[in-house]
Amino acid sequence: MSTSLAGKTALITGSTSGIGLAYAKALAGEGANVVINGFGDKDAIEKERQGLETLSGAKALYSGHDLTKVDQIEAMMKDAADTFGGVDILINNAGMQHVAPVEEFPLDKWDLIIALNLNAAFHTTRLALPWMKDRKWGRIIQTASAHSLVASPYKSAYVTAKHGLAGFTKTVALEVATFGITANCISPGYVWTPLVENQIPDTMKARGMTREQVMNDVLLAGQPTKQFVTAEQVAATALYLCSDAAAQVTGANLSIDGGWTAQ
């Protein structure tokens, strides 16, 4: 499958690490200019940004705004427009998690998770669409989650946001269906990212388990293949969604979860 994205601009939220960085590498490798976003060490981010520019010669811009705030989302979208004209491929990927029973869920965490995992996608989408509609081409991709389809206890804000994101995406897909713009969710199960890897030592200590027990009996308990999804597998699905072969794939929620949601 050839997916030349030369001349296109992709903005990927939360792309200084994990799945977002894998998207940025995949899209830059196919010739797209990329706008990366997220937090982290300044020098490490600049190194990643420069590395992205070596993949195909396309440009990479870092816009490190906090996407829990509407004015900062607007500033990020303006950075992209000022540098590249507009955004052809929008990947809403920035996300956070907090685990607590509903009656003890910290109010500030609830608000932050809904703001980042759900509201930010509304704001980036409304700001990206005019450019996509003018050009009669666009791709909107959400990193949703298996938790956009099923729930787990103690993750009420995350599950609410991801289910909301799935509904929002279907609505957008219908509204822009005649403009050459598609909108889809990618819903991974457990993906091997630094975030997941970093949980292992604490869980080993807390539960008195070996590394293998934590991976198989805790993290992969619900994933029938008993293997982690890789960030590169998720990014490859985004590349497919950007290709002409996927022009009629819209309003879909594509699971990459080792069979989790088949159960």
The residues annotated with a catalytic role in the active site are: 158
Contact between 224 and ligand NAD by CB under 6 A: the answer reads: no
One-letter amino acid at 54 equals: T
What is the contact mask toward ligand NAD in residues 8 to 47, using x (rule: CB under 6 A)? ------xxxxxxx----------------xxxx-------
What are the start-end ranges of the E strands in 13-105?
33-36, 60-62, 89-92
Residue 145 touching ligand NAD (CB under 6 A): yes
- Selected binder of ligand NAD within 3, 182, 193, 250 (CB under 6 A): 193
The angle at the Cα of 110, spanning 198 to 192, to the nearest 5 degrees, equals: 25
SS3 115: helix
On whether the CB atoms of residues 175 and 167 are closer than 8 A, the answer is: no
Question: Binding of ligand NAD at residue 258 (CB under 6 A)?
Answer: no
**SS3 call for 141:** strand
Asked if residue 150 lies in contact with residue 157, where contact means CB atoms within 8 angstroms, the answer is no
- For ligand NAD, the closer of residues 43 and 244 by Cβ is 43
Which single residue is written with the structure tokens 């994933």?
A: 223
Residues in the chain: 263
For ligand NAD, which residue of 191, 214, 220, 241 counts as binding (CB under 6 A)?
191
Least Å distance, CB 257 to ligand NAD, is 8
Residue 95, token pair as written in the block: 């996300």
Residues 69-88 that bind ligand NAD (CB under 6 A): none
Residue 62 or 84 having the CB closest to ligand NAD: 62
Determine, following the binding rule CB under 6 A, whether residue 95 of this chain makes contact with ligand NAD: yes
CB 4 within 8 A of CB 244: no
Among positions 100, 114, 177, 195, the unique one binding ligand NAD when judged by CB under 6 A: 195
| Interface with ligand NAD (CB under 6 A) | 14-20, 37-40, 66-68, 93-96, 116, 143, 145, 188, 190-191, 193-196
